[in-house]
Amino acid sequence: MIEFHLDPGSGVSPYMQLVRQVRQALRLGLLREGDRLPTVKEVVAQLAINPNTVLKAYRELEHEGLVAPRPGVGTFVTRTLADASLAAHGELRKDLRKWLAKQAGGAGRREHRGAVHDHLSDRRAGGHSMTAVLQSRGLGKKYGKRWALSDCTLDVPAGRVVGLVGPNGAGKTTLLSLAAGQLTPTEGEITVVGGRPASGSEQLTKVGFVAQDTPTYARLTIAEHLRLGARLNPRWDDGLARDRVARLGLDLRQRAGRLSGGQRAQLALTLGLAKRPELLILDEPVAALDPLARREFLQGLMEAVAEHSFSVILSSHLVSDLERVCDHLVVLAAARVQVAGDVDDLIASHHRLSGPRRDAARLPDDQHVVSESHTDRQSTFLVRTDGPILDPAWTVGPVGLEDLVLAYMERKPEHPALEAVR
Ligand SMILES: Nc1ncnc2c1ncn2[C@@H]1O[C@H](COP(=O)(O)OP(=O)(O)O)[C@@H](O)[C@H]1O
Ligand SMILES: [Mg+2]
């Protein structure tokens, strides 16, 4: 069976990396007709990545006619790529399909995809993929005279694992606390899973919130935490909670104060998951953990997403923490949203241009400069554009997610705010 690996610095989106690895394995004869691809859960467990990423890759391969699902059994290779020409054929068909989709318009496209991919989109969507899990309009929060969050307008689709990234003091906790109903806005509006935060007990059952610094009660045992959770949450899944505690090798009689940082974070995650929320919000859940504990934490979270399909928003001041797990990103800096969008779209629409020295003002109107640097003779721009880059003077390269986020975080205030990518 194929074993996937991910290269975070490649500038190629994770889902495309998986697609390419399968194509490559087919071309090399490492995968043959009838071979089974690893299940989504297997890939998630192996790479600690977002299940949606795997689903998307498998959907793409299915589109290309390379694999097909057998319901309840797995996804199997249906064809062997004897030579590169077949792969080129796939690309061609993809272009043709895109063109057809455009002709048919948005609704037609969805129908088409739905018909072909029912078995996959079903579980991903959980019935509500097209609705927003978080929507805000001109949302702001002021402490005294200072805005902790300002003019925040977002449409975050459901069914995603959303990374909220920004430096310390950017306003992440403020935004997440507003979403969880722990703060009230100074101005603007916010809707979370279809309701107003803090609007009542129904809203509370729909949204799980794991606050910064993994809040647990030092003097309570794990068993007491679970009993408390069961009492406070009508949808409490005690089986899930006990199963996770057992799998983590934790002792129910242990007091939370005696646990390691990683175990405490896992306990807080368990409490959040056992609520069975539609949306789980986690504020800097891995900030205090060592690399191994980080990976185990995110792996547990991704396995839960694969199993129960709910939406997740988690924050970090480092994009490298979240790169593997997020399929949607919101970059916050200086109290404002700098950019937001699906990771694949962000990667596809940002490019690094380098060539002879040129002034930013002389770039075409549809190329928005995110960052620029110049030497005497040379200019390098990081631009966002949906169109092709035709100027032969430029060497065009991809932008990795980390560089992309850093560029937005370091953007000088004199740059006009870019319209968020949706
Ligand atoms: N309770 C508070 N009172 C006054 N200022 C606050 C309060 N909470 C946060 N702030 C300020 O709001 C800004 C955003 O904070 P926060 O949302 O905690 O950022 P982050 O979570 O991204 O580090 C910071 O400048 C912080 O100092
Ligand atoms: Mg914070």
Task: Please state which CATH number belongs to domain 8-125.
Answer: 1.10.10.10
Angle between helices 222-232 and 238-247 (to 10 degrees): 160
Q: What pTM value is reported for the model?
A: 0.78
pLDDT at residue 134 in the model: 97
| pLDDT tens by residue, the chain, 422 residues | 788 988 877 778 889 999 999 988 887 778 888 999 999 989 998 888 999 999 999 999 999 899 999 988 899 998 876 544 444 445 554 555 555 555 444 433 333 333 333 333 333 434 434 589 999 999 999 999 999 999 999 999 999 999 999 999 999 999 999 999 999 999 999 999 999 998 888 898 999 999 998 778 899 999 999 999 999 899 999 999 999 999 999 999 999 999 999 999 999 999 999 999 999 999 999 998 999 999 999 999 999 998 888 999 999 999 988 988 999 999 999 999 999 999 999 999 999 999 999 999 999 999 999 999 999 999 999 999 998 899 999 999 999 999 999 999 988 655 455 554 44
Q: How far apart, in whole angstroms, are the C-alpha atoms of residue 401 and residue 58?
A: 22
Q: Domain residues of the chain, as ranges?
A: 8-125, 161-173+196-334, 344-409
The count of C-alpha atoms lying within 13 angstroms of the C-alpha of 377, restricted to the half-sphere facing its C-beta, is 0
Distance 316 CA to ligand 1 centre (A): 14
Burial class (CB in 10 A: 0-12, 13-18, 19+), 126: middle
CA-nearest residue for atom 18, ligand 1, is 173
Domain spanning 161-173+196-334, CATH architecture: 3-Layer(aba) Sandwich (3.40)
DSSP 285: T
- Among the bound ligands, name the one nearest to the CA of residue 182: 1
- The pairing of strands 67-70 and 146-157 is unpaired
| Interacting residues of 138 by C-beta distance below 8 A, sequence separation 6+ | 151, 152, 153, 187, 188, 189
Q: In 248-289, where do the E strands start and end?
A: 279-282
Ligand 1 pocket, 171 CB below 6 A?
Answer: yes
Any idea of the CA torsion for 391, 392, 393, 394, to the nearest 10 degrees?
80
Which ligand 1 atom sits closest to the C-alpha of 168? 23
311 forms beta bridges with 279
Q: What are phi and psi of 66, to 5 degrees?
A: -90, -30
From 174, 210, 405, give the residue whose CB has the most ligand 1 atoms within 8 Å, as the site to mutate. Answer: 174
pLDDT at residue 418 in the model: 53
pLDDT at residue 130 in the model: 56
Ligand 1 pocket, 150 CB below 6 A?
Answer: no
pLDDT at residue 94 in the model: 56
